[in-house]
Amino acid sequence: MKTSEKDLRINKGVIRGKEIEIIVDGESVKAFEGESVAAALFANGQRISRSTTKENSLRGMYCGIGMCFECVMTIDNIPNTRTCQTFVREGMFIETQQAEGKWKTV
């Protein structure tokens, strides 16, 4: 598992769901059931979700409510998936999205 020096989770007052592993850009990352994908990544110190089409600039979660599409990543081979509205699952395959992203057939 990726050893990140960061774990920004707060454990006071809450017991999280089951600990699981998700795959982020090829590396295994710790997550807990009940977390959104964006939350699991933030907890791990990763706030960048994608780079833009025209200027290749970096973006991350902005509205948190599914409205702005800044948090989109490619999840299980489907690009443009809003990570603030998608919840983690064991073995979920997440990729930082470049531009429009690519649909992949497995």
Ligand X SMILES: Cc1cc2nc3c(=O)[nH]c(=O)nc-3n(C[C@H](O)[C@H](O)[C@H](O)COP(=O)(O)OP(=O)(O)OC[C@H]3O[C@@H](n4cnc5c(N)ncnc54)[C@H](O)[C@@H]3O)c2cc1C
By CB under 8 A, tell whether 43 contacts another protein.
yes
- Assigned token pair, 29: 């990352």
Cα–Cα distance measured from residue 85 to residue 53, given in angstroms and rounded to the nearest whole number: 22
67 part of the interface to ligand FES, by CB under 6 A: yes
Task: Name the residue nearer to another protein (CB basis): 24 or 82.
Answer: 82
User: Which residue type, as a one-letter code, is found at position 52?
Assistant: T
Position among 17, 34, 66, 91 found at the interface with ligand FES (CB under 6 A): 66
Q: Contacts with another protein in 49-68 (CB under 8 A)?
A: 49, 52-55, 57-68
CA distances from 6 to 23, 29, 99, 101 (A): 17, 12, 28, 28
Binding site for ligand FES (CB under 6 A): 61-64, 66-71, 82, 84
